[in-house]
Amino acid sequence: MFRRIPIIALISAMSLGDGRGEQLPTAYLCVNIEGHTAPVRALAFAPDSEHLCTAGLDKVVNVWRLPPRRGQAASLTKNIAREFFGREHTLRWEVARGRRGSINAMAFSAASGRLVVGGFGARGATGDLAWLDPAAGTFLEAKYQHRNSIMSLACSPDGRWLASLDFDGRVLLWSTDGGEPREICKSDAEAYGAEAVQAIRTTLESRPLSFAGDRTLCVPVYTGVSPDQRTPTWKIRTFSIPGGTPGAALEPVHFGRVTALAGSANGRYLASADLAGRFYLWDLGAAGRQAKLLAERIAIQSLGFNPTGNVLLVGTFPPGGLGESELQIREIPSGTIRRVRKLDDAVTACTVSSDGLRVAYTGGRGHEVFVEWLDEPHEPVVIPGGEQVDGIARQPAASDHRVVFRSRPGRDDAPRYQVFDPEKLNIAAADPVTTPSPANCGKWNVVLDAKSNRLWLAVAGQKQCTGYVELDPNEQGRLRCWCWIVDRNGEPYAVAIGTDVQHGVYVYGLNAAGPCPLLRYFRGHNGMVNALTLSPDCRYLVSGSADGTIRYWNLDGCGNPSAVYRNWGAEFAAEGQRLVVRQIDELGPLYNKGVRQGDALDRILWKDEKGDHGETRAAELLVCLEKIPWQTQVAFFFSRRGEPMEGFQSVAGWYSLLAAYVSGRDWIAWTPEGYYACSAGGERLIGWQVNNNPGEAPSFFTAEQFNKTFFRKDVIRGVLEEGSVAKTLAGLAGQPGQSAPVPAAVVSALPPRVTILTPTQNRLEQAEREITVTARADAAAGQPIVAMSLLIDGRPYDAKRRFQGSAGDRMSRTERWVVQLQPGSHSIVVKAESELSEGLSEAKQVFYKAPPPKPSLYAFAVGISSYPGNLRLNYAHSDALALAATLKANSGDLFDTVEVRSQVNEGATQEAIRDGLVWLHRSAKPGDVALFFYSGHGMNDAAGDFYLVPVDGTPDRPAETCVSSSLLREFCAKTTRCKLVVLLDACHSGRLNLCNFLSITEAVEDLTRELGRNDYGVVMMASSCGEETSLELNEIQAGAFTKALVEGFEGNADSDGDQFILVPMEAHSYTWRRVRELTAQKQTPINSNTGVKDFPITHVTRPGIASR
């Protein structure tokens, strides 16, 4: 259910424009996965009915291409070209911390194909509306006429008119042809008065409106309170469009609030529901417009008609958040239920496609979206959401910072327990743990009162609890979890609470009588906080959230007696007429806005129920910073060395020191500045969004684009021990006794801006093979451009173009490529690099219409068992031969030519392996598939450089006798224009540490990550991760990794039953599951995360092979 967060001070953006100093923009961390990581609030089918847009509290719009009805899909041809279904685009609008940027509503214009989104906007007044082009995947424009958050949007069936309703009750009507909007309804304060506003907001969690036909707009209007003076009452009023003339209010009265409202496209029917559980249907074409009561005592949150108005979708919610919800499909006008779907969360949105064939709805506790055919019952297509962390505990018997967390990969999956080790940088399976916070700790006792949203506290000897923590359900939300905070002696000094509205963590001091003081507000999650624990060393509070992240919050300074420091993370001192920053914490709200020691606070602005306020006097500024409530948005104006800095807005929310996100087998951990470490496939799981000027599209950059500067495993490993990124960097620089250097930040290393000039269209079909691509790159963050390259379908098209010369000459570059296309659909992206980061253009989609020729497959398989002494392996040679035989047997009808070469045991010399890579490079032509498989030993030299060990390799002379990772990189870099697959099983040595050198598993993981980046675009899979060893199993007479690969390629990996095995998706998913099964969870394969689309590697034609 919707809850609005009434952050009190919403300062207009114009009030921040009088600072003359330059301030870097703010970069907002965003999880970047295919599904949603927070509840989905809005659904909208595109006019073509083949695409669905989904959006919600994770602040993005995902555009999905839906699969056709089974039996109607075009047959798949036996070549590499393949129809693609799934997410096509992720669209972004402006965001900020907390809930700002959450999306509540969407509406499609059938006339223009544009999508409008609204919600809790990121700008000062929060009433932002964004116009998007889902087909092209682009942001078009933003408008800011609303003065408060958008609650509902509706578009007329003909697509000519859009209505928007905000939290204040104001309704605006927009022509989709453009121009200024017309006000249809005034705000509640103007229409009903201040007293009515208070009554309205006691129950206002959603506020719908709807068109009934093209020329009638239906809006709930406030009519007073119930006879007991407790419940607001409402009626539905119609307005004629476009004039906005109000009609008579429809009877009967709705109580509490109108929870859902929907009109039919033909204008005949209107359906509504209220908080009292009444469900009505009007026949607007009948005389008298009498409502028919369809049901009582039904909690409805969403409604939606099919285009003809004879079917109505009804989405319910479980009262109190407990129990099941339903998606009902009802016949109209009878109201008879045709079928019901039982669901485990509120159905916040439901809709029918414009052709009347498909139904989409929410209702999954894991943020899933469901799509099914309206006319026949069948299992719905599930668009999965992200994993949620719903439990967290310190690692038993651990003395470091490891925590065990519980997550649920999907709605029907069993919970998964894993341990995150921030020092060793790995994720491993863990035994289930349950650590509910004890009611007693030291001399303190606590009693949870869920009804009043309070924690009651008492000390030993008290007969009843008189101290308490009370949460405001509107501003903070309901209490979801809590834990004691104790010192190193085990004595409690505070209690931490996680909530479900601000998604915040609140730390309160302990008080034996009366309200407990708020010591700190931690802000950063984008989903409800489900779990809290204390790190084993008691220095950090660790939280787990429905957004899937784990966060470490530094507790240093929580006991500081200064309320100014507790709120803002800074200590001030008056110097004459100036208030100067004396000390500042790098995790506090002000530091992350660019404030540093020595800066002077010149002025603040804020707003509350009494009006607008401002202060400039030093002594009074200090008093205001102490007394302004934590949730108030304050505009700050600082100066540095006498020069004004750009103003900014902030609330008193502190940042986490370290955060981590885990998705299946991949993970990434990061600091607020942007330093990160990750698994081989984890580099694209997060990114940073930077808002640009008002009305412009925001910029989004994946972590991968900053790998030159911010991929720092050493920083992540050390930051929890030091408690500070600055101190960690100073220690790593060998300067622990000196003042810590200022850490770099993502915004100081923003990538070049890249624009494709030709072709000009975002989507293009052509009959010519040749296309000319022209792109311009413009420097950002003052960093000259050092290189540009062209990516076709996620892989470099040719060698990178490097630039030299003066910095001034490299601030802007224009480059041109003449591309020879292969038949089919292609994605074209241009990359530009600075010394610090990499910028990517928006993708252009080009379809070359020509009969597709069959590509060829070239594979080179190496397996070595016959090493000397205890390094001998058993099955590496037979593994290579088995993989080669599988490709020959199952790839023939996919490819024009299948040529597989093998070198095993004594034949796998250094020269033979090098020659095989040269053959592979020279053979593969554009459109072909090249595959390299290696099973044998790998090693690191004393400098940490990685090598494959051939049969004639000498471990004490690896540079002269082995195959280096540099040679592999060189091979991958020059083998362009084809699809390249590398399969590596080189971790057999494990902890043997060949010739006393380091374990090579981490080196293989680093290589896998690097080859998956845009510089290479290689599909790479490796046999194990972390501290694992690649296992050979006597019972199957094979290595576990190769056995799983062979089984997968022979058909077991065919997850959709189409008899094609896709790389990397199906192959890796099966291999990962099967290897863990074969090794009892002791070995976990890894893969690169590339921009390469899935493609088939084998085609299984034998009956029964494809079944799983």
> Are 893 and 1004 part of one and the same domain?
yes
Whole-angstrom Cα Rg for the chain: 31
Whether the Cβ atoms of residue 474 and residue 501 lie closer than 8 Å to each other = yes
Q: Is there a single domain that holds both residue 810 and residue 892? A: no
The residue with greater pLDDT, 177 or 659, is 659
Residue 330 has pLDDT above 50, yes or no: yes
Q: How far is CA 729 from CA 656, 713, 726, 735, in A?
A: 17, 12, 5, 9
pLDDT of residue 410: 63
At 1104 the pLDDT is 40
974 domain-assigned: yes
Question: What's the total number of domains in the chain?
Answer: 5
Tokens standing for residue 689 = 């969004």
Q: How far, rounded to the nearest angstrom, does the alpha carbon of residue 91 sit from its chain's CA centroid? A: 12
Q: Is the pLDDT of residue 554 over 90?
A: yes
Closest by alpha carbon to 484, among 441, 513, 454, 434? 441
User: Each residue of 138-188: pLDDT tens digit?
Assistant: 999 999 999 999 999 999 999 999 999 999 999 999 999 889 999 999 999
Asked, for residue 659, whether it belongs to a domain, the answer is: no
- The domain that contains 581 carries what CATH number? 2.30.42.10
What mean pLDDT is predicted for residues 628-648? 93
Residues 734 and 611 in one domain: no
Q: Is 152 domain-assigned?
A: no
- Report CA-CA distances (Å) from 546 to 22, 33, 244, 652: 37, 14, 42, 23
Count of beta carbons in the 10 Å neighbourhood of residue 1066: 23
Task: Find out whether the peptide bond into 438 is cis, omega within 30 degrees of 0.
Answer: no
CATH number at residue 797: 2.60.40.10
Report angle CA 882, 883, 889 to the nearest 5 degrees. Answer: 90
C-alpha 428/C-alpha 1083 separation (Å) is 10
Residue 1073 sits in the same domain as residue 1009: yes
Phi-psi sector, 477: left (phi>0), alpha (psi -120 to 50), beta: left
The mean pLDDT value for 54-71 works out to: 88
Residues 6+ apart with CB under 8 A from 616: 602, 603
Average pLDDT in the 1034-1062 region? 94
Q: Kindly give, in sequence order, each residue whose CB lies less than 8 Å from that of residue 522, ignoring residues fewer than 6 positions away.
A: 504, 505, 506, 507, 541, 543, 551, 553, 653, 654, 655, 656
60-64, 319-323, 971-975: least confident range: 319-323
- The confidence score (pLDDT) of residue 738 equals 43
Could you give the CA distance from residue 245 to residue 454 in angstroms, rounded to a whole number?
48
Same domain, 741 and 789: no
Task: Work out the number of other CB atoms within 10 angstroms of the CB of residue 47.
Answer: 17
Q: Is residue 19 part of a domain?
A: no
Cβ atoms within 10 A of the Cβ of 195, count? 9
Instruction: Give the Cα separation of 639 and 620 in Å (integer).
Output: 18
Q: Which residue has the higher pLDDT, 620 or 376?
A: 620
727 and 838 share a domain? no
Q: What is the CATH number of the domain that holds 902?
A: 3.40.50.1460
- For residue 11, pLDDT over 50 is answered with no
Question: What's the pLDDT band for 941 if we cut at 50, 70, 90?
Answer: confident
Residues 505 and 583 in one domain: no
pLDDT for 14:
34
Residue found under tokens 């039904």: 298
DSSP 1024-1068: --TT--PPEETTTTEEHHHHHHHHIIIIIT-TTSSSEEEETHHHH
pLDDT, one tens digit per residue, over 176-220 is 988 999 999 999 999 999 888 988 887 777 899 999 999 999 999
Mean pLDDT check: name the lowest of 166-170, 543-547, 1015-1019, 1053-1057: 1053-1057
328 in a domain, yes or no?
no
- The answer to whether residues 518 and 539 touch, using CB atoms and an 8 Å cutoff, is no
**What is the rounded CA–CA span in Å between residue 971 and residue 32?**
30
The DSSP secondary-structure symbol of 884 reads: H
Tell me which of 693, 722, 749 is where a domain ends. 749
Given this model, what pLDDT does residue 571 score?
96
Phi, psi (deg, nearest 5) at residue 615: -150, 140
pLDDT at 387: 86
Q: For residues 379-408, give the mean pLDDT.
A: 86
For residue range 987-1009, list pLDDT tens digits in order: 775 433 443 333 577 889 999 99
Judge if 528 and 425 occupy the same domain: yes
Whether residue 765 sits in one domain with residue 742: no
Domain containing 929: what range?
A: 856-1099
Give the pLDDT band of residue 92 (cuts 50, 70, 90): very high
Same domain? For 837 and 945 the reply is no
**Burial, 384: exposed, middle or buried (Cβ in 10 Å; 0-12, 13-18, 19+)?**
middle
Mean pLDDT of the chain: 89
Residue 591 lies in a domain: yes
Distances (CA, A) of 292 to 304, 314, 385, 830, 919: 17, 16, 38, 59, 77
Task: Quickly list H helices, 136-179.
Answer: none
737 falls in which pLDDT band (50, 70, 90)?
A: very low
Greater pLDDT, 871 or 665: 871
pLDDT score at 126 = 86
pLDDT bracket for residue 1029 (50, 70, 90): confident
The residue out of 730, 749, 768 marking a domain boundary is 749
Phi, psi of 1075 (to 5 degrees): -65, -45
Strand partners, 459: 444
Same structural domain for residues 762 and 839? yes
839 and 912 fall within a common domain: no
Beta bridge partners of residue 776, listed in sequence order? 755, 814
Q: Give the containing element (helix H, strand E) for 686.
A: strand 686-690
Residue 167, both tokens? 């939290």
Statement: residue 90 has pLDDT above 50: yes
The answer, yes or no, to whether residue 841 has pLDDT greater than 60, is: yes
Give the angle 843-846-850 at the CA atoms, nearest 5°.
160
Q: Indicate the residue among 848, 880, 900 that finishes a domain.
A: 848
Q: Does residue 890 or residue 411 have the better pLDDT?
A: 890
The DSSP result for 697-721, as a single string, is PPEEEEGGGGHHHHB-HHHHHHHHH
pLDDT in tens, 412-468: 678 889 999 999 898 888 888 876 788 889 999 999 888 888 999 999 878 788 899
Residue 174, beta-bridge partner list: 162
Whether the predicted pLDDT of 73 surpasses 60 = no
pLDDT reported for residue 443: 92
Residue 538 lies in a domain: yes
Is residue 280 included in any domain, yes or no? no
**Locus of tokens 């967060």:** 5
Contact yes or no for 275/255 (Cβ under 8 A): yes
Determine the pLDDT at residue 411.
61
Give the list of residues 6+ apart from residue 497 with CB closer than 8 angstroms, or none.
Answer: 455, 469, 471, 479, 481, 482, 505, 506, 507, 508, 532
Q: Is 398 helix (H, G, I), strand (E, B) or coil?
A: coil
pLDDT value of residue 723: 95
pTM metric for this prediction: 0.90
